Structures are given as structure tokens and as C-alpha cells.
Amino acid sequence: MSSSELCALSAGDVLAAFAAKSLTPSEYLAACLEQITQFNPKINALAAMDVEGAVVSAEEATRRWQSDTPMGPLDGLPIGVKDLQDTKGLLTTHGSIRARGHVPNDDMPMVARLRAAGAIILAKTNVPEVGAGGNSCNPVWGATGNPFDANLIAGGSSGGSAAALAANLLPLCTGSDTGGSLRMPAALCGIVGYRPSVGVIAHPTRPLGWSGISVLGPMARTMDDLTLMLGVCQGHDWDDPLSVSSVPDRFEALPPVSLKDLRVGFSEDFGGAPVEPTIRQTFRARLDLLRPHVKECRLVDLNLGDMDRCFDVLRAESFGAAFGAGVQEDPDGFGPHINENVALGQTMSLADRGWAHNEQTRILRRFNALMREVDVIVLPTSPVSPFPWTQSHPSRIDGQDMDIYYRWLALCYRGSLSGGPAITLPCGRDAFGMPFGLQMLGAVRGDEQLLSAAKAIEGLFAAEAETARPLADMKTLALSKINLRSIVTHPPILAESGQSARASLQTAV
């Protein structure tokens, strides 16, 4: 099997090959590194890398598999970690000039769980500056391009993770999601992205510990791989008061769901958010395929309240807590999006904050009432097809001007307000030949039920060539001449401490 064929295998198949001794972690890592060498320069999905450490870890995992003593369910599997998430000894820049030499002393808990399960932390994945926006472009590492067309965005803020998966650079990657940061890039790159219910994966670095607007989540190419990773990542941390204890095998034995028993609600625009007509048409075509196979498929009213203003206040509150002091101290150390969010928050009062939390509660209760009538709600993930990465965001959608840079993410961030789970599934291509993602919302704390329904719908779409997960044309990508680090203005700083950091920068720059 060639390197490219090995890299296209699912994580589950790779681990099965390790167990069968038909493939070793060292051989698989070598294949991934060959794929990365060929394609990462084209899409710039991966930032810092620890190749030397990964080689040693793969050798150790190879010995464990050969003696039938794997250390955990992901032993020997190289993965990518979003560059907002701390990795011990490996550069973590947040795409920010203020952190371009930052090498953490510890893993964040989710990363520590993955490492304890045997995963090899090979690379950091690219992000927008401090995760702000839907375009993974920053002054430290440059822009990430979409593997289906490297001139177009991969989405954000987990764009590097989505692009790395779509280009088969890595089998699993981490993500995070406030207003669609995980779901949007997954949809635009044709992979699976999951925003779990608040508390499923501990997020102790959240600046406002009692606010569940931001969550961590897994990204993969298939539902089976996603639930495998989710089972490892789940769990409680004392520094996240919203997190819940892990449940052994919680995501391995999902309740079976038959499509013929599934009650599906749908909305084209989540209560009136602007959506391009071509996206509506593609969404309707997916509904036409789904409708005959389910018990019910009916329109639901997702006009749950003043969702945009509510999100604006909650987001500004979070950005103010995280970056307000830094912006005041060094405004030139941040880009315009961060300064804009902090400035927006400074125009808001305690009364605005109280209103937003009250409105979020009302939105939750209206959403709960809807979810008593249906099992899942489906809608588009993105209102537009991917656009050039040189463009920060769409300024206009279906004739409506975007008043702030993240307004185009409304199909996602409105769903964040409930605190419930949401997933995006790849299901063919849009009218422009780019990946189309179907978003699914589940009841609050109904993660197992949503994942089961998504697994069943994944199987339905996979059976048809038109709606199966699209695959990037890697031959065309290989011929691309684009240089996606051409906009780097503040390259990463070579750290003085940590062999991993030195190796990573020598490899990545």
C-alpha cells in the first residue's frame, strides 16, 4: 500500500492494522510525514511540528503493539492539535504575535487525555489570530487554504485541523467552537466536526468558567473515528465547573437509531439568517433524499429570539475578559478583529449583560420546547460556498450586508446559544463543486442520541455518489503553485528551551 493510500485510511482501520501487525506506528508516521511534506506547503494547515519526538514515540508504540501491550485506544496514532490549545514542549502561538515564542510547560487536559491514550502529538494546526473569525489566517503562520481549492478558505477557527484531515495529513485533529469555529471549517472541507454539549469535554482554560459559549470538540473524517476520539476526550476537570465526569464506553455503545423512526425538523436559515440561494437549493436536494427514509421531516420555526444581539453581548463579554487588559496595554499587539470585539464590549453595560443572559435562557427554553417535538433539527452549516482566503469574511450574503466580521457564521452561532450538541456531516458538493455540510442540532445533553442519528444519516448519504463525503483532488493540489505563507509578517520565534520546540520550528518554517 502506498503512502497516500495509508494516509487515506480511517483512524479505526489504522489501529486495526496495528493490532493485526500488518502496519506499525513507525511505518504509518513515515507515510503521514511524506504526505505532509508534499501537501502542507500547498495548504498551510500545520504550524509547529515535533517530528523528532513523534519518531521516538512511534518507535515506542511499535514495540508495544508488537508485544500486544498498547498503552491506550489511540496508541501510535499521530494527531494534530489546534494552535489555541497548550501542548507541553511544543510551540503554541494562538496565531498571535504576542505568543509567537510561547512553549507551554503542560498539556491542556484534553491534550493530556489524548496523549495518555497513546496519541502522538505531531503537529499544531493553524488558526485565525487568537481564534477570531472564520478564516484561518494570521501574521505568524500565514493563511490556510482549502484542499479542494487552495485559493479558497478552509474556514475557522479550526481551519488548519479541517484542512489537514481533508488532505489526509493526519487521521484525527482537535477543534474548539464558540460560534461555529469547529463546524464551519469541517463543512467547508468535507469532514465531520462535533460541538458537544457544554461540559462533555472539560475546558478549564475558558476565560469565563461559568459561561458555556465556548466548547472543545473532536474532528475526523468519519463518525466512527469521531466517536472514538470523543470517548478519549470526555471528562471532568475541577477548573471547569461546567464539566461532567466521564462515563466508560459512553460513546462506544451508542443507542441504535433507525431512520424510519426518526423525527426530523428542518430550517433553511435558522430563523431568518441570510443564506445564498445556491446553498438553499443544495440543502433542499439533501432533504429530498432524506425525507422518504425518516418518519417525519417538517419545517420548524427557529426564530427563538434576538439571537444575534444575544451572541454579540456574550462574545464581547468573553473577548473582554480574555483580551481587554492586553488590548489596553498593547493595542498594536492585536489585529483589528480582536480590537473590534473588545471595543464592542466597552460600549455595553451591566444591563446589556444581564439582558443577554436572560435572553439566552429564553432561547434555551424555546429550543427545548421544539426538541420535544422532533429528534433532530437539520439545516445548512455555511450560508456560502468557500471564498478566497484573501477576504476576511463575506461582506454581503443574499443581498444583506454583514454588520460585523462574524455575522456570516449565524447559522452556527445561533445554535451555540442553547448549549446543546451540534454536528456537521459532509454530504457531497455544492453548486460550485465545493464540499457541502449538513448541520444537525440535538437536544441539550442529548449527545448520544444526536450522534446515533448522525451515524444513520452518514450511512444514507454514503450510499449515493452525489452525497457521499467528497474527496479533494490531490493531483491538482500537488500542482498548485500558491504560497500561503506569503502574508507572514511576524514569523514564530525559535524558543531557547525544549528540544521539541526547536525541532518543530526547523520543520515548520
Do 193 and 215 contact (CB within 8 A), yes or no? no
Give the pLDDT band of residue 485 (cuts 50, 70, 90): confident
Number of domains in the chain: 1
Q: How many percent of the chain have pLDDT more than 70?
A: 97
User: What does the pLDDT look like over 28-67, one tens digit per residue?
Assistant: 999 999 999 999 999 999 999 999 999 999 999 999 999 9
- Segments forming the whole domain that contains residue 239: 3-308+336-508
In this structure, which amino acid lies at residue 138?
A: N
Do 411 and 386 contact (CB within 8 A), yes or no? no
What pLDDT score does 507 carry? 42
Give the pLDDT band of residue 283 (cuts 50, 70, 90): very high
Identify whether 318 is part of a domain: no
Do 252 and 227 contact (CB within 8 A), yes or no? yes
Identify whether 294 is part of a domain: yes
Q: Tell me the average pLDDT across 151-180.
A: 98
What pLDDT score does 486 carry? 81
Identify whether 378 is part of a domain: yes
Separation CA 118–CA 100 (nearest Å): 28
Identify whether 314 is part of a domain: no
Q: Is 321 exposed, middle or buried (0-12, 13-18, 19+ CB in 10 A)?
A: middle
Least confident of 66-70, 248-252, 297-301: 248-252
What pLDDT score does 500 carry? 47
What pLDDT score does 494 carry? 67
What pLDDT score does 112 carry? 98
Identify whether 152 is part of a domain: yes
User: What does the pLDDT look like over 1-27, one tens digit per residue?
Assistant: 999 999 999 999 999 999 999 999 999
Q: What is the mean pLDDT of the chain?
A: 95
Separation CA 371–CA 374 (nearest Å): 5
Q: Tell me the average pLDDT across 282-303.
A: 98
Separation CA 32–CA 123 (nearest Å): 11
Q: Tell me the average pLDDT across 231-260.
A: 95
Give the pLDDT band of residue 253 (cuts 50, 70, 90): confident
Identify whether 363 is part of a domain: yes
DSSP lists the bridge partners of residue 235 as: 201
Q: Regarding beta strands 78-82 and 120-125, do their DSSP bridges make them parallel or antiparallel, or are they unpaired? A: parallel
Model-wide pTM > 0.95 = yes
Identify whether 93 is part of a domain: yes
What pLDDT score does 329 carry? 94
Give the N- to C-terminal CA distance of the chain in Å, as an integer. Answer: 30
What pLDDT score does 504 carry? 46
pLDDT exceeds 50 at position 503:
no
pLDDT exceeds 50 at position 286:
yes
Question: Using alpha carbons only, how large is the chain's radius of gyration in Å?
Answer: 21
User: What does the pLDDT look like over 67-83, one tens digit per residue?
Assistant: 999 999 999 999 999 99
Give Cβ neighbours of residue 255 (< 8 Å, ≥ 6 apart).
448, 449, 452
Identify whether 322 is part of a domain: no
CATH number of the domain encompassing residue 205: 3.90.1300.10
Least confident of 121-135, 315-329, 475-489, 493-507: 493-507
User: What does the pLDDT look like over 198-217, one tens digit per residue?
Assistant: 999 999 999 899 999 999 99
What pLDDT score does 501 carry? 46
